[in-house]
Structure 1
Amino acid sequence: MGVWNRIRNVWAALTMPTANLEDEELLDWLGITTRDKRKISEVTYFTCMKMLSETMGKLPLKYYQDTPEGKIRADPTDMTRLLTVRPNPIMTPTTLWSSVELNCQHYGNAYVWIQRNFLAERYGGEVINAGLWLMPSCDVTVLIDDAGIFQEKGKLYYQYTDAKTGELYVFPQEDVLHFKTGYSLNGIMGEPVRKIIGSSIDGALESQNFMNNLYEQGLTASAVLYFPAGELDERRRKELRNRYEKYLTGSKNAGKIVPVPIGLELKPLNMSLTDAQFFELRKYSALQIAGAFGIKPNQINNYEKSSYANSETQQLAFLVDTMSYRMKAYEEEINYKCLNPKEIREGYYYKYNEKVILRTDSKTQMENLASAVNNGIYTANEAREYLDLPQKDGGDILMVNGNYMPITMIGQQYRKEGEGNEGSEDQG
């Protein structure tokens, strides 16, 4: 009887329609949503989303191994090719990771289904019919098995509903890469920035709409039409108002002369964007939104207090303050779910190359590489690899200046013969 009840509960969990509290259409129908689907059209919000997604998309993912000799580049595996060469037949890695970050920032969570052949992978064979597939965040519901229906109490499952066919799929947590924002109260689900600072984004969107309407009206202010009381009924008032709106609004009517009959007076209302500090408030709202995303002022085209050196510092601060957290979160999820236990034991891991964000001009790059080679930090072949040049024979030897000596030997070259040995014997 217990087995039958368990099977029945599983079937009910899979077939019973569930209310997704992240579904915007459902919330709109219930009248309890405060989110605006047009938020992505707000220019600061769009710029921040674009900056984060493109930055994540251009970061190359590298495959390494920790060995007794140190970190080395590991030979690629089938999973490495999916992560770095072609995740699936229709996406490049750049497209996949950019889309993942967009979903993550806009919805708070992003999900990637790992399609793989467990049997082949377990025995070291070729992984066939494999791929990494982005699941739209709005079509995924996270379930936690707190009752032990699937015999593992507390395990997560991801329910994906195909928006076109209506088919429902349930994946265990090992088969789904789950990326979330940094704001998560329960550690399972992330919260999107647009939900937390929705009022600021709404205000910026309204100011943008106001400017758009102002341009559509030909930068013409609202006006008041004076006429003798009692001489016009409601119908004629509407006709007169519509006529003057047609004459006065729109860029095509800008600068044209509008005839006004005797007895009527058309008086524009005073409107001053300067007095209302419109642009100052809009700039302040943009900085608030960018700050919530971790975007620096120069990245939203605010160069008011920026210089060339200051912009470079802001780019470094963006890497340290914003992207380092995002990269670490991605690396941890990928290393946990894309490596098998054998690879983890042998020290294999994936890591993003964050140096692409800090690329400098060619002159500075050559000076840095030359300094690293001359001081024994890089070999010549390692420096050539940064420049996408082939390796050369003899280029794997570390070189240093022959005039250098240990600090403990400073001054010994000025001593007379025998003084150094006597000092050494005395010390012994």
Structure 2
Amino acid sequence: MSVIQKIKNIVSGDRPSVSLEDRELLEWLGITPSSRKAVAEVTYYTCLKMLSETIGKLPLKYYRQTERGRIRAAPTEAGILMTVRPNPFMTPTTMWTTVEQNCQHYGNGYIWVRTQFTPSSYGGEYHFLDMWPMQSHCVTPVMDDIGIFGGAGKLYYQYNDPRTGKQYMFRNSEVLHFKTWYSFDGFMGEPVRNILKATVDGSNESQDYMNRLYKQGLTASMAMQYTGDLEDEKVRKLKRKFADMLSGPKNAGKVVPVPMGLTLTPLNMSLTDAQFFELRKYSALQIAGAFGIKPNQINNYEKSSYANSETQQLAFLVDTMSYRLKNYEEEINGKILLPQEIENQNFYKFNEKAILRTDSKTQMENLAKAVNNGIYTANEAREYMDMPAEEGGDQLMVNGNYIPITKIGQQYKGGEGNGNS
């Protein structure tokens, strides 16, 4: 179908919307679309995978703050959904991974929390039924300034289901909204790919160049020199003939006969002289840095050692994931906790220690030190190792030779008094 016919269909209503994937139409309108998606760029994909999987692998815990400190609280309906089965088709790992991937790629991630109100003589109560991640590009936040939906100044979320074509409107309290740090209004986040569009597109173009080079059998382009004047059609036939005989892996090392008076001169372009790989590596580090991903996490081990990689993993938790986890925890605690839970000082928290586990020897040494110095009970250490509790293991133990710092020296005074009497 021609571009003109497509535009006529849009105007007449035969085609109600313009597809952003229609490359011919976009180019006719003066819009130059990217030849490849950002996800096709390997560094971008790796960063997206790293952040999404990290959120997915961290267990979500439910605690209560007491006078004695933080203790594990009894699970609730919402807690069971977020830690066992959010809906019939997903695990919690899948749900959190999907939300973070949408958040990083589109700037915002959404979860619809479906609830049901059960009336009673005391007013009734809400029950959590299930949770569903929504595709971010199908969600539109709507601020009701004049009270069209029954409340002026309230925020709603419009969701266009791509599978059924139906449209839904959810209240702010029904949607968990997670966003990136890059937001000037505090409502909507911006994705990294919008900020680094030129860098990601440039990296995609360099990959396209390498793909074309491989398809040509790593042979350079050539200049064809001939004597006299040839018609354009004959020139095209010559170009096509030698292109078929010289390009591609199957023609590597092949001897090609050249007619007298015709010369083929390779146009050598050295990747080393052009610093091609150095530039690609620099672009990869720029993309990773924008996501907060460390060099060793994108397989750049040039300046890494075992200790250095472990330090980078800790820096990744502190510099990158601590903000993301705090963002998630605040949104979950702000919309999932019921008034009674807030009054009891209950809260949800991700266990970030799951990505800091060391080798078994170091782990056992750390647990032994914690138990011997009264930080962990034996049963707490056993729980950390996924072992059952034992009788008598809930007592804190310390070395009997330890004394409070305020009583240092008093043990000698008693002995001196007995000796003088």
Q: Structure 2 length as normaliser, TM-score? A: 0.90
Which residue of the partner structure matches residue 148 of structure 1? 147
Q: Give the equivalent residue in structure 1 for 2:75.
A: 76
| 1:185 equivalent in structure 2 | 184
Which residue of structure 2 aligns with residue 388 of structure 1? 386
Give the equivalent residue in structure 2 for 1:341: 339
| Residue identity matched to 1:250 | G
Is the Cα contact below 8 Å between 1:20 and 1:141 reproduced in 2?
Answer: no
1:256 deviation in Å?
Answer: 1.2
| Cα deviation, residue 253, structure 1 | 1.2
Q: 1:296 aligns with which of 294, 297, 301?
A: 294
Partners of 1:89 and 1:80 lie apart in 2 by 16
Which residue does 1:409 correspond to in 2? 407
In structure 1, C-alpha distance between the alignment counterparts of 2:241 and 2:166, rounded to whole Å: 55
Written as runs of structure 1 = structure 2, the 5 A alignment for 1:87-236 is 87-119=86-118, 127=127, 130-230=129-229, 232-236=230-234
Q: Is the 8 A contact 1:385 1:391 kept in 2?
A: yes
Task: Read off the aligned partner of 1:220 and give its amino acid letter.
Answer: T
Alignment of 1:258-337 (within 5 A): 258-337=256-335
Deviation at 1:152, TM superposition (A): 2.4
Cα distance in 2 for residues equivalent to 1:192 and 1:20: 25
Distance 2:239 2:33 in 1: 34
Q: How many angstroms does 1:164 deviate by?
A: 2.8
For the 8 Å contact 1:35–1:198, the answer to whether it is kept is no
Q: Does 1:252 align with 2:250?
A: yes
SS at match of 1:276: coil
CA distance in 2, matches of 1:401, 1:26: 74
Q: Distance in 2 between matches of 1:308 and 1:143?
A: 49
Q: Structure 2 CA distance, aligned partners of 1:31 and 1:136? A: 29
1:68 offset after TM fit, Å?
Answer: 2.2
Question: Match of 1:393, SS?
Answer: coil
The 1:32/1:187 distance shift into structure 2, 3 A limit, reads: farther
What corresponds to 2:4 in structure 1?
Answer: none
CA contact (8 A) 2:55 2:96 kept: yes
- The count of residues paired between Structure 1 and Structure 2 equals 400
Q: Percent identity?
A: 63
Shift of 1:227: 0.8
Cα 1:380–1:83 shift into 2, 3 Å: same
Q: Is the 8 A contact 1:162 1:168 kept in 2?
A: yes
Alignment partners' CA distance in 2, 1:142 and 1:342:
29
Contact 1:86 1:92 in 2 (8 A): yes
The within-5 A match list for 1:350-365 is 350-365=348-363
Q: Is 1:35–1:195's contact at 8 Å kept on the other side of the alignment?
A: no
Distance of 2:395 and 2:124 partners within structure 1: 36
Alpha carbons of 1:34 and 1:321: their partners in 2 closer, same or farther (altered >3 Å)?
Answer: farther
Amino acid at match of 2:127: V
8 Å Cα contact 2:378/2:394 also seen in 1: yes
Q: Is the CA contact (8 Å cut-off) linking 1:100 and 1:111 kept in structure 2? A: yes
CA distance, structure 2, for counterparts of residue 239 and residue 398 of structure 1: 88
- Aligned partner of 1:425 in structure 2 is none
Amino acid at match of 1:182: W
- Partner SS for 2:395: coil
Partner of 1:132: helix, strand, or coil?
A: strand
